A and B are shown apart, each in its own frame.
Chain A
Amino acid sequence: MMKQLFPIKHVMGYIFSLVLSVVALAVLMDGITYTVGLAILLICAILQAGTQLFLFMHINESKDTKTSLYLNIAYALFVGLVTIFGTLFTMIWGY
């Protein structure tokens, strides 16, 4: 019963994602340099995305849709990177 109400993997994942959010907020504290802050944010973001994808969105669970799932993620990465670096390119580097 307790196991059904509190599936250990998901509870831990939930706590972990909350911890990650708090750590990300810690960047606001005094005495953290820009570089360190950005590094913390990046690491937190990657871990957070991984937790969500694997634990709560079950990305690795079904075999038959594997290709289309990873193709979709590749597409998403493409669009995300293009948006970020394209914006930097048009608005700052190439301005």
Chain B
Amino acid sequence: MKLDEFFVTGEPMIYAAMVSIVVASLAILIGLTYFKKWGYLWREWLTTVDHKRIGVMYIIAALLMLFRGGVDALLMRAQLAVPENGLLDAQHYNEIFTTHGVVMILFMAMPFIIGLMNVVVPLQIGARDVAFPRLNAVSFWLFFAGAMLFNISFVIGGSPDAGWTAYFPLASLEFSPTVGNNFYSISLQIAGIGTLLTGVNFIVTILKMRAPGMKLMQMPMFTWSILITSVIIVFAFPVLTVALALMMFDRMFGGQFFTMANGGMDMLWANLFWVWGHPEVYIVILPAFGIYSEIIATFSKKNLYGYKSMVASMVVISLLSFVVWAHHFYTMGHGSMVNSVFSITTMAIAVPTGVKIFNWLFTLQKGRISFTTPMLYTLAFIPIFTIGGVTGVMLAMASADYQYHNTMFLVAHFHYVLIPGTVFAVIAGFHYWFPKVFGFRLNERLGKLAFWLITIFFNVTFLPLFFLGLNGMSRRMYTYSEGSGFGPLNMVASIGAVGLALGFVVLCYNIYWSFRYAPRENVNDPWGGGRTLEWATHSPVPEYNFARTPNVKGMDAYWHSKKENQPLFEGKIEPIHMPNNSGQPFILGVIFFFLGFFLVFSWWIPSIIAGIAVIIMLAARTFERDHGRHIPVKEIMEIEEKHGGELV
């Protein structure tokens, strides 16, 4: 392979990106050396197995990816703002909408949610860490390796360009001969292993590590949503693993699984992709429902209405999520029987979702509502998400879908569920749990300003797309003629996108401002209405979470212990057993990154060496004896005193 094929060439924007990547990397390296932070970075972050720190790293990575995916989105909106625009050519546009989709779903929404669940779930169930802390670090570094591998594709080798769904035959070697789709199959595979391990880890954590006395039906709703999400992850991701492996065989080893000749079946890819892909939608939405449930209960000062029906509806959604996938390709050409079956199962999902919406409304009813930033996002979510849901039911009708299929109407629909659903939820959760990790709240004024910008301009951006779709504009077209009449509404959407970007800038500025100027509170329950166990311990949370294990007697344990003046923590302080830090997960991630990179370019000898290195790492772990360490009582008392307040 020649050097000019290795690097992406010929685009001024890409050159600028290369320069900025080099400059930013140099700045980070020089900064770390100058401030002598290498040791700190290695000891406190790269080798950490602490669930809170891993959660923070997930969220930082997610914010970076939000920036990357957001820039992709802005470029697309800039290209579509006016008819016959020449800003991007067709190839570049294809690459951008592909990476926008993959980055936003797999490297922004997923890690943001996994980050929040890492920070919150062990605290909510009164545990000191997850069940397998080292495995948790492996999950993070595999995700990060996958994300970085996917992202370098845009300066080295070229990005995938067959859509985030990578449908065959377009994604086959015949029609996509560059390494772009190799990046897709291998980086998703690596990140997917990480996600799968997270799923296993959290199922075990929630089932086995709850504080004494906490029954399953007394768990906080967010923890319930994570349990169900983890179950979906464990059962849905293997399908993606297999599909990606088959794709890799097709593209790199001459396999014929998805080709149109030799007995291959190209549509089988779409089928397998959505067998994973639809449950994936619920993997990113159910935790959002959990976050909203917590926030609504806290800021209405009421317990959640219909707890049992909330749990039941999530279980039903998780089962239904596995039987609706064919609604993504009604127009593929199968018979009316298939389409009818999947139409009905799809519409059935609206029932449990509706139950949840009503439960939230009933929780709000007669509550003493305080309009904090997280609560504003939650309140905006209900009506906007309902628009997304109702248009989803429209799309669920197979016969009508022949009109909507692959139009901007669809694009508007899924942004109307994913943004108010997942994105608002993770931002709300970010604001809500931020003081738990850092000991101070984000500024409310700036937070509300960002909220209004994001909510208003979200609608300005995506509402026009419904009408553009109904007028016949299909998705993924890189330009359109003036005579089509798509111009004005596209202009409105592009202006909205700028406003939306502005909202995210305010959000980031708020983080910066609050780090510098926000008053440090260091109280356990800064919102004043905390109900669940995470608010019972100090903020910021000490590394062992709880000096003494909480004694749970019912639902909303912290709230009731406050109201009824019953102590949550009893007994004397004992030495706490904690896991040791380890550099192995990080090293494994680095090796996986190189393994993936070599595989993408089919460099077999380096690939084999990296593969052997992975096996050596796994073997080394098997023969390692690490029983963790104990924090002595004296040290615990010192930490508790430093945090002040009551002993927990």
Contact = CB atoms under 8 A, between A and B. Distances in A.
Interface of A: 65, 68, 72, 75-76, 78-79, 82-83, 86-87, 89-91, 94-95
A90 B231 contact: no
Interface in B284-333: 319, 322-323, 325-326, 333
B267 interface: yes
Contact of A95 (B231, B235, B334, B341): B334
Contact of B323 (A68, A82, A94): A82
A37 to B, nearest CB: 17
Given A82-B323, A95-B333, A89 B275 contact: no
B281 to A, nearest CB: 15
Contact of B275 (A68, A83, A95): A83
A90 B271 CA distance: 8
A68 B207 contact: yes
B239 interface: yes
Interface residues of B, number: 25
A72 B267 CA distance: 30
B271 A76 contact: no
Contacts of B387: none
A19 B235 CA distance: 28
Closest 5 CB pairs of A and B: A94-B338, A79-B235, A95-B334, A94-B335, A90-B326
A89 B337 CA distance: 10
B207 A90 contact: no
Contact of B265 (A65, A68, A76, A91): A91
Contact of B337 (A82, A83, A87, A94): A94
Contacts of A95: 333-335, 338
B340 to A, nearest CB: 10
Given A75-B231, A79-B322, A90-B271, 14 more contacts: A72-B231, A76-B235, A78-B322, A82-B322, A83-B275, A86-B275, A86-B323, A86-B325, A86-B326, A90-B334, A91-B268, A95-B333, A95-B335, A95-B338
Interface string B204-237: 0001100000000000000000000001000110
A82 B203 CA distance: 22
A14 B280 CA distance: 35
Nearest to B274: A90
| A65, A83, A90, A91: most-surrounded residue (chain B CB, <10 A) | A90
A78 B319 CA distance: 9
A16 B383 CA distance: 59
A65 B210 CA distance: 13
A72 B325 CA distance: 21
B235 A90 contact: no
A53 to B, nearest CB: 15
